[in-house]
Amino acid sequence: MQLGRSYHALQTRKELEDLVLAVFPDLQVVSLSKKELHYLINQSVINSYFGESYLKSLMIEKYVGEDMVAALEVKALNSRLDFLKINGSTVSYEIKSEVDNILKLEKQSMDYLKLFEYNNVVIGSNHLSHVRKVLPSNYGIIIERNGFFVTKRKPKKNNKICPKSQIDLFNKKELETFCGLSDPKKILKELSPKQINQQFKLMLKKRYAKKWAFLTSRKKEIFPLDYQYFYHHNIEPELIYG
């Protein structure tokens, strides 16, 4: 567990060696390349620590070949959504692994219901009974089992979307580009909720398309725990692993 929480893609070789030695104390780390050190840590965490990074890596691998755009760590009002899928619809996935605290989940779910058309929670199975009690009935529930996702409840179309909340996620340039106006009040008067939702989806797809394309085109060169880092920073993998 500590290894999963301590590791990040930008660590120095010495820091990586120390992490590897904590798990494999007899290993001759000096003979390993920096990339091999990254690989060992990734494999150790993926095989033994089923935290958020592990579940997020499974989500990315599930959708990487689809004709869609995905976004990671999306600001969503007072919350930050783990994974958002954008194609014809907006589909949110909040991730709560078996080692995560879920006290904030109910509040987070209320934010996502103001923004997205379909909403899901991806959880460790130990959270299932609690999640059924606190989440609205239109929320999808997905559990991870042996490296695969099992749908316990499918999401239903959300009818509580708030146009004002969606508009709040645009920056000024995006408002002008997608809504033709920069004043949120005027937009809310002149565009219908359906029109705002459509422009909201187009804006999100445009905002995140380049980052998602970078990650998906280089996924085979990136280790699973590092997907999110490369998604946000778009640095060639060999510059980090070399």
Q: Using CA atoms in the order 45, 217, 93, 98, what is the torsion angle rounded to 10 degrees?
A: -10
Please give the pLDDT value at position 98. 85
| 15 lies in some domain | yes
Percent of the chain with pLDDT over 90: 83
Lowest mean pLDDT among 3-7, 102-106, 150-154, 236-240: 3-7
Say whether pLDDT at 3 is over 80: no
Tokens of 174: 């995006």
Question: Do residues 72 and 32 both lie within one domain?
Answer: no
Residue 69 lies in a domain: yes
pLDDT tens per residue across span 111-151: 999 999 999 999 988 899 999 999 999 999 999 888 889 99
pLDDT at position 50 over 80: no
Span of 46-55, 73-82, 190-199, 216-225 with lowest mean pLDDT: 46-55
Final residue belonging to a domain, choices 49, 67, 89: 49
What span, in angstroms and rounded, lies between the C-alpha atoms of 118 and 138? Answer: 8
The domain of 21 spans 1-49
Q: Are residues 118 and 184 in the same domain?
A: yes
Number of domains in the chain: 2
Pairwise CA distance, residues 66 & 27, whole Å: 40
Over residues 60-66, mean pLDDT = 91
Q: Is 240 domain-assigned?
A: no
Residue 2 pLDDT level (bands cut at 50, 70, 90): low
Q: Are residues 44 and 112 in the same domain?
A: no
Is 104 found in the same domain as 11? no
Average pLDDT over every residue of 55-75:
93
Same domain, 37 and 126: no
| Distance in Å from the first CA to the final CA of the chain | 26
Residue showing tokens 């998604």: 231
Q: Looking at residue 233, what is its pLDDT?
A: 96
Q: What is the pLDDT of residues 72-125, one digit of tens each?
A: 999 999 999 999 999 999 999 999 988 888 889 999 999 999 999 999 999 988
Judge whether residue 42 has pLDDT over 60. yes
Q: Say if CB 73 and CB 228 are below 8 A apart.
A: yes
Does 95 lie in the same domain as 45? Answer: no
